[in-house]
């Protein structure tokens, strides 16, 4: 069993409840990464639905999560021939961490219909020519021991205190130790990169996620994922991040939109 599978493992308690412990090492300065938490919840939701792949999934983040016991409450709202929709919550003690709604299916079965893609993977140097993501000064990032990020050189300058001025982050993603990517790992990829705000000359500080939605289009091929995240609007104390994830064959495998609070210095 891979480290990612082990870290997102859930164990059924009864018809609607699973033990879903928050594993160590997936945190940023003590708080579990939001994509990891979504993958953890999705693991139990997939079991509840009887279908392996999240097709669309939305999470509202209610409280920060730390390593330790947690319980997933998941119930099927509707089950059809191709898809099942599941509502779930993740709770630690008396704190609700996450409220999630997702539709699950089997993406090993290709859907019928035309293909029209008016976009392309981000223009990235090869991974060896990109910049490894490192911990910011005074910030501990155990999460980077679980995933590997290589940033576009133009988008990595915030790490030297020289943000590009463009609210954009592009780069490569993979799990460490050669672990195979699946559709649940895509949920980690969409929230793994530094916030676009770091290049918008906003404070390099905690950028809390309010809501995160992922649309999963296909199971990824082995290899690096090419990822791009952009922000168009910083207003009212909020910002959005729109994300695209492309696999090693150049196929779009996931999209995301995240609403977050503007970081404060």
pLDDT at 141: 84
Q: How far is CA 141 from CA 13, 105, 199, in A?
A: 32, 33, 19
pTM of the full structure = 0.95
- Residue appearing with tokens 């999560």: 65
Q: Is the pLDDT at 218 greater than 80, yes or no?
A: yes
| Percent above pLDDT 90 for the chain | 83
CA angle, corner 178, sides to 175 and 184, nearest 5? 40
* Closest C-alpha among 150, 138, 145, 263 to residue 199: 263
pLDDT at 160: 87
Residue 149 tokens read as 């990020």
The tens digit of pLDDT for each residue in 100-141 reads 999 999 999 866 678 888 899 999 999 999 999 987 656 778
The tens digit of pLDDT for each residue in 31-61 reads 999 999 999 999 999 999 999 999 999 999 9
pLDDT at 136: 66
| DSSP track, 179-238 | PPP-HHHHHHHTT-SPPGGGGTTS-SS---EEEEEEEE-SPPPSSPEEEEEE---EETTE
pLDDT at 2: 84
Q: Which of 131-135, 184-188, 204-208 has the lowest mean pLDDT?
A: 204-208
The answer to whether residues 60 and 210 touch, using CB atoms and an 8 Å cutoff, is: yes
Contacts of 85 by beta carbon, 8 Å cutoff, 6+ apart? 49, 76, 77, 78, 79, 101, 102, 103, 104
Segment (H or E) for 249: none
Segment (H or E) for 36: helix 34-49
Q: Please, what are the domains in the chain?
A: 1-106 (2.40.160.210), 123-265 (2.40.160.210)
- Residue appearing with tokens 């150049």: 250
């Amino acid at each position: 069993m891979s480290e990612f599978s082990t870290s997102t493992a859930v164990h059924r308690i009864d018809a609607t409840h699973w033990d879903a412990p928050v594993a160590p090492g997936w945190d940023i300065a003590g708080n579990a990464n939001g994509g990891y938490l979504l993958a953890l919840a999705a693991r139990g939701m997939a079991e509840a639905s009887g279908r392996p792949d999240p097709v669309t999934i939305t999470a509202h983040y209610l409280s920060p999560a730390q390593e330790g016991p947690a319980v997933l409450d998941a119930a099927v709202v509707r089950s059809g021939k191709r898809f099942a929709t599941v509502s779930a919550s993740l709770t630690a003690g008396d704190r609700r961490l996450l409220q999630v709604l997702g539709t699950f299916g089997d993406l090993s079965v290709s859907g019928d219909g035309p293909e029209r893609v008016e976009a392309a993977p981000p223009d990235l140097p090869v991974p060896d020519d990109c910049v490894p993501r490192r911990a910011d000064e005074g910030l501990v990032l155990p999460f980077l021991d679980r995933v590997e990020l290589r940033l576009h050189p133009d988008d990595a300058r915030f790490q030297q205190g020289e943000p590009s001025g463009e609210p954009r982050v592009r780069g490569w993603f993979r799990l460490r130790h050669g672990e195979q990517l699946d559709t649940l790992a895509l949920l980690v990829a969409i929230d793994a990169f530094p916030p676009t705000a770091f290049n918008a000359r906003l404070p390099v500080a905690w950028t809390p996620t309010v809501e995160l939605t992922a649309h999963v289009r296909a199971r990824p091929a082995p290899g690096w994922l090419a990822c791009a995240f952009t922000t168009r609007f910083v207003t009212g104390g909020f910002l959005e991040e729109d994300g695209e994830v492309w696999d090693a064959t150049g196929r779009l495998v996931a999209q995301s939109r995240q609403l977050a609070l503007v970081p404060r210095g």
